[in-house]
């Protein structure tokens, strides 16, 4: 379990995370220094998930890129898979770099939604090879966790498992899930007694029957920022929330803690939408996003683990317990099956929508 108290990053770690961002930006496999005016006047539109996470990405990734190159980075979002697909089908995407989940990466590759990563610009060799794909590079490792209100449950008897989420008698109050079939189905099945290593292929109808038992007491959030706000406002007492969002809410004083039991681990990837009007600049921005000092700085702000191994040395030790890759946390969870979601996402999202409306 993670306690509510959260230490802010120290001045030392913030300074360490800021080293090397002024003047030049190292780009490409050969470590080429980008001249300050090479991209001057270019515009890149970056779309992500909004809220505290995108604010951190702007500070740690986009602002250093702008300072070093003279380019402009416009912020947009939140990321929406249907909107993304519509842009590609229209042939003129509004976004140039997008932060997406691994399940959408796998689904989108088959539908030719992304430009191939230009490895002459993006230095993928600095990343953990598990997080390098021909069409995207991993930027954070994170997890879906069971979050709960320490105000509603102040004692030792607190929710720890997904089964507790469905126990309205022992833990009364409103719940929350994302308005998304991904991870919600896994959580419901584990609550119904399915072991993590027996989840796939998912028994979706069984999961929906389980969800029926708390549907009337559940608020479905449509953005990660909303998931935080539900806890901040006291509208819910427990629910599915990303570990970094829970950390950010706790850091700002919200009465929230998370359980690491049965946490569902995932990865976000950076992609360039097919047909981007600023392809080369987009690739160069992605390269900046993989640099260790920038990834460490982001981890210190919002507790999402880096994909560049060299970044770990720059992470504040007090942040480490909130990272999904911390040894005690990773062993209690499992990696979401992205290949399963690649093959089933569109079909099951339609089934999810029908269930929500029923």
Q: Are residues 257 and 130 in the same domain?
A: no
Using only C-alpha atoms, the chain has a radius of gyration, in whole angstroms, of 20
State the helix-helix crossing angle for 243-251 and 224-232, rounded to 10 degrees: 40
Q: Would you say the C-alpha torsion 308, 310, 316, 317 has a positive or negative sign?
A: positive
Q: Are residues 147 and 238 in the same domain?
A: yes
Q: Are residues 149 and 228 in the same domain?
A: yes
Q: Are residues 157 and 234 in the same domain?
A: yes
Q: Are residues 256 and 284 in the same domain?
A: no
Q: Is 90 exposed, middle or buried (0-12, 13-18, 19+ CB in 10 A)?
A: exposed
Q: Is residue 333 part of a domain?
A: no
Q: Are residues 49 and 60 in the same domain?
A: yes
For residue 307, give the H/E element and its range. none
pLDDT for the residue 18? 30
pLDDT digits 0-9 by tens, 1-58? 433 333 333 322 322 333 333 333 444 444 455 555 678 889 999 999 999 999 999 9
Q: Are residues 123 and 162 in the same domain?
A: no
pLDDT for the residue 41? 87
Residue 306 has pLDDT above 90, yes or no: yes
Q: Are residues 252 and 147 in the same domain?
A: yes
- Please tell me the total count of domains within the chain: 2
pLDDT digits 0-9 by tens, 32-41? 555 556 788 8
Of 251, 255, 345, which is closest to residue 301 (Cα–Cα)?
251
CATH code of 213's domain: 3.40.190.10
Instruction: Enter the pTM of the model.
Output: 0.80
Q: Are residues 147 and 191 in the same domain?
A: yes
Q: Is residue 330 part of a domain?
A: no
Q: How far is 77 from 17, CA to CA, in rounded Å?
A: 26
Which structural domain, as residue segments, surrounds residue 175? 143-265+344-357
Q: Are residues 153 and 244 in the same domain?
A: yes
β-pairing verdict for 132-133 and 136-149: antiparallel
b/e map 329-351, b = 16+ CB within 10 Å: bbebbbbbbbebbbebbeebbee
Q: Contact at 8 Å (CB) between 248 and 204?
A: no
Q: How far is 261 from 11, CA to CA, in rounded Å?
A: 32
Q: Is residue 6 part of a domain?
A: no
Q: Contact at 8 Å (CB) between 272 and 279?
A: yes
């Amino acid at each position: 379990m993670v306690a509510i108290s959260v230490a802010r990053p120290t001045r030392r770690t913030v300074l360490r995370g800021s080293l090397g961002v002024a003047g030049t930006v190292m780009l490409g496999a050969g470590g080429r220094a980008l001249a300050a005016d090479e991209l001057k006047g270019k515009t890149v539109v970056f779309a992500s998930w909004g809220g505290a996470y995108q604010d951190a990405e702007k500070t740690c990734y986009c602002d250093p890129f702008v300072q070093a190159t003279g380019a402009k980075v416009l912020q947009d979002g939140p990321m929406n898979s249907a909107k993304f697909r519509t842009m590609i089908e229209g042939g003129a995407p509004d976004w140039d770099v997008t932060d997406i989940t691994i399940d959408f990466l796998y689904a989108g590759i088959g539908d030719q939604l992304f430009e191939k990563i230009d490895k002459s610009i993006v230095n993928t060799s600095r990343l953990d090879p598990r997080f390098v794909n021909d069409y995207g590079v991993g930027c954070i490792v994170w997890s879906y966790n069971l979050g709960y209100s320490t105000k509603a449950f102040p004692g030792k008897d607190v929710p720890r498992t997904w089964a507790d989420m469905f126990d309205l008698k022992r833990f009364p109050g409103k719940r929350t899930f994302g308005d998304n079939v991904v991870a919600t189905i896994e959580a419901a099945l584990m609550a119904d007694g399915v072991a993590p290593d027996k989840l796939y292929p998912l028994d979706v109808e069984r999961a929906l029957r389980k969800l029926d038992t708390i549907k009337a007491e559940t608020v479905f959030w449509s953005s990660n920022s909303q998931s935080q706000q539900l806890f901040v406002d006291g509208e819910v007492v427990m629910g599915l929330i990303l570990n970094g969002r829970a950390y950010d809410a706790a850091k700002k004083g919200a009465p929230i803690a998370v359980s690491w039991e049965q946490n569902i681990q995932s990865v976000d990837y950076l992609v360039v939408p097919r047909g981007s009007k600023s392809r080369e600049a987009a690739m160069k921005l992605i390269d900046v996003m993989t640099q260790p000092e920038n990834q460490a700085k982001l981890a210190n702000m919002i507790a999402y683990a880096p994909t560049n191994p060299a970044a770990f040395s720059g992470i504040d030790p007090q942040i480490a317990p909130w990272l999904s890759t911390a040894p005690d946390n990773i062993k209690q969870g499992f990696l979401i099956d992205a290949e399963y979601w690649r093959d089933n996402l569109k079909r099951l999202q339609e089934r999810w929508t029908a269930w929500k409306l029923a």
